[in-house]
Amino acid sequence: MKLRQMSVAFLKNEEHEVLFLQKKPVDTFLAGLIVPIGGHIEGNEINDPKRACLREIEEETGLKSDYIKNLAIKYIVLRIKDSQEIRIQYVFNGMVSKNTTLLESDEGSLSWIGYEDILNHNVSATTKEIVKHYEEIGKYNEKVYVGSMKSLNGKPEITWGLLEDWELPIL
């Protein structure tokens, strides 16, 4: 079974909007969907998904790392695709000023979408599940969550767990 790793960012601005990329309808991956900024992890980035995320942000938006504040891992999502590929998606949250100049890439067009409006757009099932969890639980803490994507009665769903270091002493 192949392993594919991706790293994406939910970049928020001061108006609680998230920067998304509208993929072209002819793209081979997530065609026509609105997706968080990010993409596949390259071989030399396998042990550093944050580095991959920063590279993807710069490629898709022109933003250099010093324009991004508090970029931190929030979610790790696991799924099996077509029973032949295990996908691991590292999801980061960060802050960017809405007034920052963005550069369009050939991958699609950029737009700011209010958090409360994300689910009304054409987004992937993974993005929907992440947004729902973040709105219900994730935005209230700095914890990292791991999720396993599955089908529940034919509908995609993520089962979430808290990612913790079990060796830490209990106070």
* 16: nearest Cα among 95, 104, 75: 95
Q: Which domain holds residue 52?
A: 2-163
Residues in contact with 82: Cβ distance below 8 Å, sequence separation at least 6, in sequence order: none
How many domains, in total, are found in the chain?
A: 1
CATH number of domain containing 83: 3.90.79.10
pLDDT in tens, the chain (171 residues): 999 999 999 999 999 999 999 977 666 666 678 999 999 999 999 999 999 999 999 999 999 999 999 999 999 999 998 889 999 999 999 999 999 999 888 888 999 999 889 999 999 999 999 999 999 999 999 999 999 998 888 889 999 999 998 887 766
Domain membership flag for residue 168: no
Domain membership flag for residue 169: no
Domain membership flag for residue 170: no
Domain membership flag for residue 87: yes
Domain membership flag for residue 155: yes
- Give the span between the Cα atoms of 59 and 64, in whole angstroms: 9
Domain membership flag for residue 54: yes
Domain membership flag for residue 133: yes
